[in-house]
Amino acid sequence: MELDDKRFLKRLTEYERKTRDAQFEGMNDNRLDLEMHATELA
């Protein structure tokens, strides 16, 4: 269980970094994608 949590947090961190990078390009809708992605992983 703990290992899954760490993997989830790592993937979430990578996804948030991509989201931030995309926001600099003006793609602000990635936050919704992040929330849906996090729900799928949970």
Query: At which residue do the structure tokens 């995309």 appear?
Result: 22
Structural domain containing residue 10: 2-41
Number of domains in the chain: 1
DSSP state of 2: H
Q: pLDDT tens across 1-42, in order? A: 577 888 888 988 888 888 777 666 655 565 667 776 667 765
Cα atoms in the Cβ-side hemisphere of radius 13 Å centred on 29: 0
- pLDDT above 90: percentage of residues in the chain: 0
pLDDT score of 29: 60
Alpha-carbon distance of 7 to 40, in angstroms, equals 14
pLDDT score of 25: 65
Instruction: Compute how many other C-beta atoms are within 10 angstroms of the C-beta atom of residue 39.
Output: 8
| The overall pTM is greater than 0.75 | no
